[in-house]
Amino acid sequence: MNVLAHPPRLAAEEFEKLADNSRYELVNGCLKERHTGSISSWIGGILYARLLEYATAQRYGWVFHADAGFDCFPRGNVRYPDVSAVRFGRLPDEQLPQGHMKLAPDFAAEVVSPNDKAGELEEKLHDYRAAGVGLVWVVYPDTRTARAYRPDRTTTDFEENDVMPGEAVLPGFAVRLGDLFPPPRPGAPPA
């Protein structure tokens, strides 16, 4: 039996043809399984719902949850932000592609899961910055905090009671960070 010590590297086009590619990201030609826990999934879902409501009311553009892949990053990487948005006017004829988006989102959010590694998150943030993503939010459920990243490398930290603005990327959008977290269990003592 032959076992490959180093599996062959994939190009983005090959990756897109895989049957279940939404379970992975393509990083440096290799498949990296995406880790999502129930809390991070909940937070991403709430943020997606709030952003979709905003985008619909403001006629902002397209909002995506974690299954939308973006093929626009250095080294042929394909990323799947937990939540993302692309403003109207950026897609050819405003038509969504059948496969991965070939442009960078205007906004991306990542919700840190228990199995996420700091180095991998930093690499993802580097890719977002290199591709020109205008605003990235990283939400940390364990500490109930978040950080906003911008292309000019400035950051802003948020605590649970802070309101996170969409800034110039999502004009008029804002969400209180604490509203993204699961509500306390009935009868549970206050945190």
Q: What total of structural domains would you count in the chain?
A: 1
Decide if 99 is inside a domain: yes
Decide if 190 is inside a domain: no
Decide if 82 is inside a domain: yes
Q: Output the pTM of the full model.
A: 0.80
pLDDT at 48 over 50: yes
Give pLDDT, residue 141: 95
In the chain, pLDDT over 90 holds for what percent of residues? 59
Decide if 125 is inside a domain: yes
Give pLDDT, residue 67: 86
Lowest mean pLDDT among 34-48, 59-73, 130-144: 34-48
53-96 residue pLDDT tens: 999 999 999 999 988 888 887 787 888 899 999 999 999 889 99
3-state secondary structure string across the chain:
CCCCCCCCCCCHHHHHCCCCHHHEEEECCEEEECCCCHHHHHHHHHHHHHHHHHHHHHCCEEEECCCCCECCCHHHCEECCCEEEEECCCCHHHCCCCCCECCCCCEEEEECCCCCCHHHHHHHHHHHHHHCCCEEEEEECCCCEEEEECCCCCEEEECCCCEEECCCCCCCCEEEHHHHCCCCCCCCCCC
pLDDT at 7 over 80: no
Residue ranges making up the domain that contains 157 = 35-180
Decide if 39 is inside a domain: yes
Domain with residue 158: its CATH number is 3.90.1570.10
pLDDT at 6 over 90: no
Decide if 19 is inside a domain: no
Decide if 187 is inside a domain: no
Decide if 74 is inside a domain: yes
